[in-house]
Amino acid sequence: MRTLSQLALVLVLGAVAVPLAARFVPGTHPWLDRAGLLAPLQQAGIVVAPAEAAGGEGSGQGGGPGGALVVAAPAAHEVLRDVVTAIGSARGVQAVVVSPEVAGRVIALRAVPGQAVKAGDVIAELDAEQAGLAVERAKLVYEDAQATLTRLDRLAGSGATTDLQRQEAELARRTAELALATAERDLADHRLVAPIAGFVGLIEVQVGDLVTSSTVVTRIEDRTSLIVDFRVPERVATLVKPGDALTAAPVSTPGTVLEGRITAVDNRVDETSRTLRVQAQIGNDGDALRAGMAFRIALEFTGAEYPAVDPLAIQWGSEGAYVWIVRGGKAARLPIRILQRNEMTVLVEAELQPGDLVVTEGVQTLRPGAAVTLAGAARAAG
């Protein structure tokens, strides 16, 4: 008896809930139609037939009887824009590591970290006493060889000297001249000078340190503009070209957007990451940026034109996405492939024909081949 009472209660609740849902929840109509309950409810007057509802509403909005009332409009066409983003690291447009050419002991530092220097400015000096003595010795040898050659030239007219003696004296003078030049170059190498203009980095040595040619004294970087290294996926490898414009936003200062251009593109795709290395140059007006900073890079590529539909028009079924269209006054279901989602529209690939209208409202009551009535301004646009 208890089971029968519960079953009776369920039947009573179903008898009440089904008509109420059919009356006030249009979204249940497809389910009721498949269950064979929609037609009896329409015959009983509980559910208003779509044609009657369309006729009643359309009469107030300019539509006519005979079809479901919908809002539809032609699909617009927009250009497909592919935006590729990446994170890159910056470096100065030119940077040089300063190391001594010869070994020696540091006796003076002529620059400080962060100082702006020009090419040729002295950064540090090494003990050059031995090099100075070598220059003086080379000068004496050169002067003696020059005097010997001058004396032989004076005696050449009297026949007291031979051509062989003069050639040997000329060779000795030339050898002494080269030795003097070498000694002077060695003396100059005891002064470390800036090879480029830029800003001095941290100085890694102190006065009194013994340095060699492998010792890094400091690093000079020209940051009047920056080079940003980043990588893009291989799918856009053929689209990236030197000279293309891009935007760079410092990760440390959100909201700052800088303009830049691609300066170099690698000649091969990395086999491990399947990415292509790219370099871009951005300006550094006001010296607000530093080498080593991270930047968010954005590259925009323009493609072909595609239909653009309202996001509300897109429906989903077992076979994927589709839209309802009005073609020849009849409703039709058109499969689509979504290409890009924008702020206001969705770019799709679909077999739209001239004159097709894409339905954005009223899709719940549509059936393939059913007559439709366009509402208000959408009808006039159609």
Helix (H, G, I), strand (E, B) or coil at 113: coil
> Amino acid letter at 349?
E
Taking the CA of residue 285 as centre, how many other CA atoms within 13 Å lie in the half-sphere pointing to its CB?
4
Class of domain 84-92+220-303: mainly beta
Mean pLDDT to the nearest integer, 182-198: 93
Higher pLDDT, 84 or 8: 84
The count of other CB atoms within 10 Å of the CB of residue 314 is 19
Global confidence as pTM: 0.57
Ranges 19-28, 177-186, 313-322: which has the least confidence: 19-28
Specify whether the CB–CB gap between 260 and 243 falls below 8 A: no
Average pLDDT, the chain: 83
Q: How many CA atoms lie within 13 A of 380 on its CB side?
A: 4
Statement: residue 380 has pLDDT above 50: no
**Does 50 score more than 80 pLDDT?**
no
Q: Is the pLDDT of residue 107 over 90?
A: yes
Place of tokens 């032989």: 152
User: Using alpha carbons only, what angle is made at residue 25 by residues 317 and 370, rounded to the nearest 5 degrees?
Assistant: 55
Highest-pLDDT range among 13-22, 60-69, 266-275: 266-275
Euclidean distance between CA atoms 212 and 202, whole angstroms = 18
Amino acid occupying residue 172: A
Question: Cα-flanking dihedrals φ and ψ of residue 194, to 5°?
Answer: -75, 120
Domain ranges of the chain: 2-46, 68-74+310-381, 84-92+220-303, 128-189
Which pLDDT score is estimated for 17?
A: 66
Tokens of 182: 């070498």
Whether 68 and 326 have beta carbons less than 8 Å apart is answered as: no
Give pLDDT, residue 52.
Answer: 44
Token output for 301? 């590529």
Residue 26 · residue 364 · CB < 8 Å: yes
Of 247, 233, 246, 240, nearest to 265 (Cα)? 240
Helix (H) or strand (E) holding 218: strand 218-233
pLDDT confidence bin for 90, thresholds 50/70/90? very high
Q: 249-288 burial string, b = 16+ CB within 10 Å, else e? A: bbeeeeeeebebebbebeeebeeeeebbbbbbbbebeeee
Q: Check if 68-74+310-381 and 84-92+220-303 are the same fold.
A: no
CATH topology of domain 68-74+310-381: 2.40.420
Give the model confidence (pLDDT) of 131-160 as tens digits: 999 999 999 999 999 998 888 887 776 666
- By the 10 Å C-beta count (0-12 exposed, 13-18 middle, 19+ buried), 379 is classed as buried
Neighbours of 33 (CB within 10 A): 13
Average pLDDT for residues 58-83, to the nearest whole number?
68
Q: 128-189 maps to which CATH number?
A: 1.10.287
